[in-house]
A = this chain, B = another copy of it.
Amino acid sequence: MQKRNATVAVIGAGDYIGAEIARKFASEGFAVFAGRRNGEKLAPLIEEVQAAGGTIFGRSLDARKEEEIAAFLADADRHAPLEVCIFNVGANVNFPILETTDRVFRKVWEMACWAGFLAGREAARLMLPRGGGNIFFTGATASLRGGSGFAAFASAKFGLRAVAQAMARELGPKNIHVAHLIIDSGVDTEWVRQRRLEALGPDALDNPDLLMPPSAVADSYWQLYRQPKSAWTFEMEIRPFGEKW
Q: Is the CB of B102 within 8 A of A66?
A: yes
Q: A106-B114, A162-B151 are in contact. Are A216 and B230 (CB under 8 A)?
A: yes
Q: Is the CB of B245 within 8 A of A231?
A: no
Q: Is the CB of B236 within 8 A of A236?
A: yes
A167–B148 alpha-carbon span in the complex (Å): 7
A-B contact pairs, 27 of them (CB 8 A): A66-B102, A102-B118, A113-B155, A117-B151, A142-B162, A146-B161, A146-B163, A148-B166, A148-B169, A149-B166, A151-B167, A154-B163, A155-B159, A155-B162, A157-B162, A169-B245, A172-B241, A173-B209, A177-B241, A213-B230, A216-B230, A220-B227, A223-B227, A230-B241, A232-B238, A232-B239, A233-B238
Q: A231-B217, A234-B237 are in contact. Are A242 and B173 (CB under 8 A)?
A: yes
A3 within 8 A of B: no
Q: Of the candidates B105, B216, B238, B243, which one forms a contact with A114 in the assembled complex, judged by CB atoms under 8 Å apart?
A: B105
A60 within 8 A of B: no
A125 within 8 A of B: yes
Q: 20 new A-B pairs (CB below 8 Å) besides A97-B171, A150-B162, A233-B238? A: A97-B124, A98-B124, A98-B128, A100-B121, A105-B114, A109-B159, A146-B164, A146-B165, A146-B166, A151-B162, A155-B159, A155-B162, A169-B245, A219-B231, A220-B227, A227-B238, A232-B241, A234-B237, A234-B245, A235-B237
A194–B220 alpha-carbon span in the complex (Å): 37
What's the least CB distance linking A84 to chain B, in Å?
16
What's the least CB distance linking A237 to chain B, in Å?
6
For the residues of A in contact with B, the DSSP-based class is helix
Residue of B nearest to A116 (CB): B155
Which residues of A158-214 are within 8 A (CB) of B? Answer: 158-167, 169-173, 175, 177, 209, 212-213
Q: Is the CB of A240 within 8 A of B231?
A: yes
Residue of B nearest to A132 (CB): B241
